[in-house]
Structure formats: structure tokens, C-alpha cells
Structure 1
Amino acid sequence: MLTEVSAGPYTVRGISVGGVYTSLQVPELGVVFDAGVPIRSFAGTDRIFLSHAHSDHTSALGSLLGIRNLIGKSPPQVFLPAEIEAPVREALAVQGRLHRAQMDIETIPMRPGDTRHLGQGLWVRAFRTHHTVPSLCYQFFRRVSKLKPEYQALPPEEIGRRRKAGEPLFDEVDRLELAYATDTLSRVLETAPSLLESRVLILECTFIDSKRTVQDAQQRSHIHLDEILARADLFQNEALVLMHFSQAYSPEEVHSLIQARVPEVLRERLRVFAPTSGRWFG
């Protein structure tokens, strides 16, 4: 049932069909993206990142919390656009009364440009995406110290001596690891250009051929494959994971159409997040 792809050092697993359900997990980062379907094996993950409040991305949050209650897990952290924090809490309160159960979460409201330290050198930054409701994409990075160029020729013992003396030998550098951007106009790649530099980029690609035009995609605030192909030379990512395909296409059509259309510059780095055969789940 679950789709799983390897992208650089990361595993992306879960389910995504545009307008139906999206929930992905990256176990190496300990995160779940969106909760449009309650996947049992995701329930133990303590950090959930909601991109926006549409039902195909959030409607299973209560069910996921119910599974957590069954396995004795404490309330998770839920990162979400600040504008939807109160409505999400209200919705969970209603579900809690219906189920006579606790639906507790620790909300982490985010605004564009906000960063949060997640521990062990891992950070997350939020960027505004361009959808019909308040929405965010998330970029994960590791903040590391790098020896300044003017000191790189020094022998180790000299570096150690100067460091003990308190000289500022190192710069703090953000190493961009993984970004998740869904339900957005393609101009997010201009307003948040560092997405193109992330080691791994998970990006929506709802429409992939002439069944829907670029204009159709833009009217729905989604991305068309044509818009990605027009920017093919800009993607610096080690791996580009395309997801959130329309149910107008079968999984096999998604794979065959993308492989036929993607240029050589992207082909080896591209990961298609869809089953290789059969139907979409459900």
C-alpha cells in the first residue's frame, strides 16, 4: 500500500494523491508531513508538519492521535501555519468530545522565515507557499561550523592553539538537507530559491500532461510538470521527489509520462512518488 523511494540519504514513504490524501514520513529525520490518511506505522513519529488545512492533508490528524493513544505515546509536536493553529485546536477539541478521548498536541505555530532548532544540530525553516489558503513549505538543515578559508592551510596544532586562544576561526554554515513543498504555485521556486539547493526536494506535481494545462494548474494553485521542465536546469538537488499527482492519471501513466518527458539533466535524480503498478490505494 505504501510507496517508498530512496532520495539521497533519506527514505520517503507514505501515500499521496492530489485532492484525496497525502501523508509522508522521512524516518531519518523523525518527521511526518501532513496527515491526510492515518498510517499506523507513522503514529510513533513525534513531529508532524502540516503544510495547510485542506482535508486531504489534515483530516486524519485526529485518527493518528487516536492510534498514538492506543500505543501509549505522549502528545506530538505539530508544526503548522500560525493562521490555522486555533482552528486545528478547535477541530481536535470537537473530535475529543465525540470520542470521549484526549486529542492533545503541542502546537508549534510557524510563519514564513521562522526557524526552529529540533536538536542534534537539525533545524527547520518555514517558507510561504502560494495556495488558496494559508500554507507553508518546510526546509530542514544542519548548522555546522566550517573553518574559514584563510585558516585552512594551517597545521592542526596551530588551529588548536588559536582556537584555545579564542580566535574566531570558524563560520557557521547551514547545510540544506531536505525540503517539502506541496499545494503551491510554481513561483515558490522563485520566492524560496534555496529549495533548489536542498540536498533533497519533495515537490508537488499535480498535473503532468495536456489533460490539464499549465493555466488549469495555476487556477487551482498547483504545479504542472511543464513548469518543472521549464526550470530543469535550475534544480541543484541531489534528488527531486515528485508527488501529489492527480487521480486523473493511473500510477503507471504517471511513471511512463514522466519518464518520457523528463530531460537527461533531471532523469537520474528524479524520484516518482507513485506505485509502479496497479491502482491508487482506495
Structure 2
Amino acid sequence: MNALTGIDLDLAKTKLSGFSVSGLATWMIAPDLDLCFDMGECPLSALPMNHVFLTHAHGDHSRCLLRHDALRRMIGINKEGIYYLPEEIYEQALTWIRAGAWFEGSRAKNPKVPKLIPLKSQSASSEPIRLHYRDNLSVRAFRVDHGVPSLGYTIYDSRLKLKKKYHGLSGSKLAQLKREGVVIEAPLHTPRLTFIGDCTAETLWRESEIWESRILVIESTFIAAGEETLARKRGHTHLNEIAQIMTEKEEHIACEAIVLKHFSMKIKPLDALEAALRVIPPQFHDRVYLLTHLPKSMRGQSLGELAWQGI
């Protein structure tokens, strides 16, 4: 299994590529959105991405952040990469970056530091933050339960929409109001993609807004019967807990695609598939995808598509 080799998904008009195995590496690229989530490894396809969102500091999610920055400069990408991370680990990140430079032989007293943007957890009612290089995309960071400071991220399609009270006015009247300084538009944010690194099921229950994203990417580290308590103890989620949430929240789940990732290294891909087909409620099979190294002919297909093929 090569952690630099991603699995490609084409979901809800969004292309994704990623790898995620617990303890080994997690990363995901959304090339159409110019961003990456986590950097447990740094495939070359990640280098053009100008925005990187780090969920937490565990090495299988973070260790190649500096490599991403260094390789971009090495191949001549002049645009500065933007690295978002939980505010609680910002100072430690600076120390880590400087120590890494000195370890590699830099003699600079203050080595060059990538552009780090510390983020606080935001409530669901908070205004999302516009991305540095993309005016049409915004992000909301939210608290994640994992035992170390962690954030999940929701990416929004953002645009201005005419306020309701001005509907029906002519173009000339609207233009006149704008010349007079009247604000006739309000921001509209539509949740497109939510990514969570590692978390307990408590996060999935509490953050109800994540189930409104067109695409939701969550972990499912444990799948074996009877390991739910162990999953919670280690700051992770069990497949049975996800199935329970789907059953109880069914009417409120608007996601077009739900991607399960971060299976334990002990779990064989086909075993993960068998468990998902057995445990996930059948009404969700057409919306659930596994980010695991199934045989190539089976990758990128929903549980429903695989079940229809008799797999």
C-alpha cells in the first residue's frame, strides 16, 4: 500500500483524491477548489493546491506540511501557500518549523516560516471566512473531539444574492440604489464539502450542520463488533455509531455523498466493504463511498453500485 497513491472520487460535481489509513497517513485534495485537507503525505498532485487545512497535529495527518511548502518553492511555485490550523497549535507549529529548518542545517536565526493562519472554532451561525485566493469560497472551522486540539472544516460556495425586499425592481432602479450606496445584496453560503480528520461520534451528533454539506468526509477507524468503547477511548468513531446516527438523523441528512475513511491498518479493504454493506442502512447505500484500496475496478463506486454488481 503506497500512501502517495490516492483514490479518485467524482462526487456531487466535485473531484477528490485522497488516502487515509489510521496511523499511516491521511490527505485529501480537492483540485477544483484549490485546496487540501491534512498532509500526512505529500503527493506531487498536492503541490499546485494553494490552501491547506490541517485538522490536528498527529503525524499521520501533519508531518508533510513542511514538505508541501518546500517542494512548492523547489519547483518554482511563487504564490505563497496558505496553511490553516487550529489556533491552539499555532505556537507549537512555529517551533516545529524552526526546529525542522535547523535540523536540516539552516543557519538562519529565524528560518522562513510558511504563511500560517490560526483558526478558532466557529458556531454554526458564524459568518464563514473567505479563502485567501478564492473569493467564491469560504470556510467555517468547528470543534472536533479527538483528545488533542482538532478542527473540522466546511467549505462553502459563496456569492452575493439580491435581498428579498428588492425583488421585482427593474435593473435601472437597482443600479440607482447601488449608486446611492444602498446595500442591495446579502452573502449566500451553501455548504459544499465538510472534512473531519479524526473524531469521536460525539462530534457527528453535535455538529448537525455537517449533515447539510453536499459531500461529507468522516472517519470510521473501527468496524469490529464490540469495539465501540475502544473507539471512543482512543478518540475515534466506530462504523456502528455512524449507522446509528444515519438511522436517527435520516430525515435531516441532506448529503449527496458521504465518504468513510481512516480505517485501521488491521482492516482489509474488502472486509471494510463487507462491514459497510452489512451495517450502513440500505437507504444510504447509494450515497456512501469508501476511501480504501479496494480492487481498482471497485474504487470510486457507492455501496449501492457495488451491491448491485453482486459484490
Q: TM-score, normalised by structure 2?
A: 0.81
Q: Deviations over 1:81-120 (max 9, x none)?
A: 0111111121111111222466631000000017421133
2:267 pairs with one of 220, 229, 249? 249
Between the aligned partners of 1:24 and 1:32, the Cα distance in structure 2 is: 6
Indicate the percent of aligned positions where both proteins have the same amino acid: 27
2:8 pairs with one of 4, 21, 28? 4
What is the CA RMSD across the aligned residues, in angstroms?
2.1
Query: Is the Cα contact below 8 Å between 1:22 and 1:36 reproduced in 2?
Result: yes
Q: List runs of 5+ in structure 1 lacking aligned partners.
A: none
**Which stretch of the first structure deviates more once superposed, 79-88 or 256-265?**
256-265
Query: Is the Cα contact below 8 Å between 1:62 and 1:103 reproduced in 2?
Result: no
Tell me, yes or no, if structure 1 residue 34 matches structure 2 residue 38: yes
**Which stretch of the first structure deviates more once superposed, 15-24 or 94-103?**
94-103
Q: 1:129 is aligned with what amino acid?
A: V
1:106 pairs with one of 112, 115, 122? 115
Counterparts in 2 of 1:169 and 1:88: CA distance versus 1, 3 Å: closer
Counterpart residue number, 2:229? 215
Tell me, yes or no, if structure 1 residue 116 matches structure 2 residue 129: yes
Counterpart residue number, 2:300? none
The Cα of 1:209 is off from its aligned counterpart by 2.9
Query: Is the Cα contact below 8 Å between 1:22 and 1:57 reproduced in 2?
Result: yes
Counterpart residue number, 1:53? 57
Q: TM-score, normalised by structure 1?
A: 0.89
Counterpart residue number, 1:172? 187
Query: Is the Cα contact below 8 Å between 1:3 and 1:14 reproduced in 2?
Result: yes
Secondary structure (helix, strand or coil) at the match of 1:257 reads helix
The Cα of 1:147 is off from its aligned counterpart by 4.5
Counterpart residue number, 2:291? 273
The Cα of 1:231 is off from its aligned counterpart by 1.7
Q: 1:90 is aligned with what amino acid?
A: T
Between the aligned partners of 2:218 and 2:112, the Cα distance in structure 1 is: 30
Tell me, yes or no, if structure 1 residue 126 matches structure 2 residue 141: yes
Counterpart residue number, 2:92? 87
The Cα of 1:21 is off from its aligned counterpart by 0.8
Between the aligned partners of 2:184 and 2:75, the Cα distance in structure 1 is: 48
Query: Is the Cα contact below 8 Å between 1:7 and 1:240 reproduced in 2?
Result: no
Q: 1:193 is aligned with what amino acid?
A: S
Counterparts in 2 of 1:190 and 1:162: CA distance versus 1, 3 Å: farther
Counterparts in 2 of 1:68 and 1:147: CA distance versus 1, 3 Å: closer
The Cα of 1:144 is off from its aligned counterpart by 2.7
Counterpart residue number, 1:43? 47
Between the aligned partners of 2:104 and 2:209, the Cα distance in structure 1 is: 43
Secondary structure (helix, strand or coil) at the match of 1:201 reads strand
Counterparts in 2 of 1:68 and 1:103: CA distance versus 1, 3 Å: farther
Q: Deviations over 1:189-246 (max 9, x none)?
A: 3332111101111111111231x52111111111111111112114210111111111
Query: Is the Cα contact below 8 Å between 1:48 and 1:77 reproduced in 2?
Result: yes
The Cα of 1:168 is off from its aligned counterpart by 6.3
Q: Deviations over 1:164-209 (max 9, x none)?
A: 3427665432111111012111222333211110111111111123
Tell me, yes or no, if structure 1 residue 137 matches structure 2 residue 152: yes
The Cα of 1:129 is off from its aligned counterpart by 0.4
Q: 2:13 is aligned with what amino acid?
A: P
Counterpart residue number, 1:240? 258
| Count of paired positions | 273
Q: List runs of 5+ in structure 2 lacking aligned partners.
A: 297-311
